[in-house]
Amino acid sequence: MTPTKRKTKRIAFLGPEGTHSHEACLTYYKEGFECYPCRTAREVFWSLAPDSLSHVDEAVVPVENSTEGPVTQTLDQLARCDWVVVQSQFSLPVRQALLGSGEAPPLGRIKVVYSHPQALAQCEAWLDANLDGAERVAMSSTADAAMRIREHKDAAAIAGEYAAKLYGLSVLAETIQDEAGNATRFLVIRKASAGPMPAAGAAGDWRSLLHIVLANRPGALLECLQPFRAHGVNLTFIQSRPLPGKPWEYGFFLEAAEHADGPRMKAVLGELGPVTDGCRVMGVYRNETTKG
């Protein structure tokens, strides 16, 4: 008997449902997709591995927050998992809220606040001013924090208001993030085997994400950056991360404001070969505007 073909895409994200990554999926895809929540960033990426039985088509992963900077778990998996490519990117405003159970006490009597480390950091000043005596406990996701407090009267969670609706919680305080313009940039990734990257001829404001490995010697980074300057290619993101199994050696993520197959980037890539120990184009995508 022939298996029934799925009509909707299956999208992986850091779960459970109610996280900001889940909200990002709902905003980006709107409808016609099937959720595949994962417990860790590694699980998200491995759901797209060639031998995975998850049947995931794409995944949404956070890569950068406007307040707290790069999401290192995502970058580390991007470097390791050469079976994925980035197909698009978008930003989403992140409005954090303090959530409590239906019988939550006044703020002054809350003893512990649960949330993801990034969310706790994004609300640090507010917590110092309003809940300075409460213990702050890191959780694997904001949704896990929301579920944790459902039966705890003296605890609160930092998460989005969507999580409050999903898990039957009360909103004790709204928009508690320290920066009013707090936003997270998300990448949509897919299997590299699913098709080629977009053609260079298509109109649009393009970005190319590279991962570069440099030799541990004086001037290596400068030599790597010089071709971008020489050919007038702007870099919109630079971040280093440790190389697995190589203490004190680093790989660099570079996002260029050009299509990888455009003439200027082709010239850059040609000059990077002799001055790097490895250069991989991880994706080509349009510079999409903020959603939500």
How far apart (Å, rounded) are the C-alpha atoms in residues 77 and 20?
A: 19
| pLDDT tens sequence across 190-224 | 999 988 888 876 666 899 999 999 888 888 889 99
pLDDT digits (tens, 9 = 90+) for 219-240: 888 999 999 999 999 999 999 9
This model's pTM is above 0.85? yes
Residues 147-202 have pLDDT tens digits of 999 878 889 999 999 999 999 999 999 999 999 888 999 999 999 998 888 887 66
Instruction: Evaluate if residue 108 carries a pLDDT over 80.
Output: no
Both 88 and 187 in one domain: the answer is: yes
Q: What is the mean predicted confidence (pLDDT) over 262-274?
A: 94
Q: Is residue 38 part of a domain?
A: yes
Sequence-separated (6 or more) residues with CB below 8 Å from residue 194: 57
Closest listed residue to residue 100, CA positions, set 116, 89, 114, 120: 114
Q: Percentage of residues in the chain with pLDDT exceeding 90?
A: 68
Please say if the pLDDT value at position 1 is more than 80: no
Tell whether 18 and 81 lie within a shared domain. yes
The verdict on 79 and 122 lying in the same domain is: no
What mean pLDDT is predicted for residues 44-60? 95
Q: Domain with 210 in it: what CATH number?
A: 3.30.70.260
Averaged over 8-33, what is the pLDDT? 90
Q: Are residues 78 and 104 in the same domain?
A: no
pLDDT surpasses 80 at 252: yes
What pLDDT score was predicted for residue 4?
Answer: 47
* Rounded Cα gap, residues 291 and 249, in angstroms: 37
Element (H, E) at 49: none
CB atoms within 10 A of CB 181: 10
Which H helix or E strand runs over 42? helix 41-46
CATH code assigned at 81: 3.40.190.10
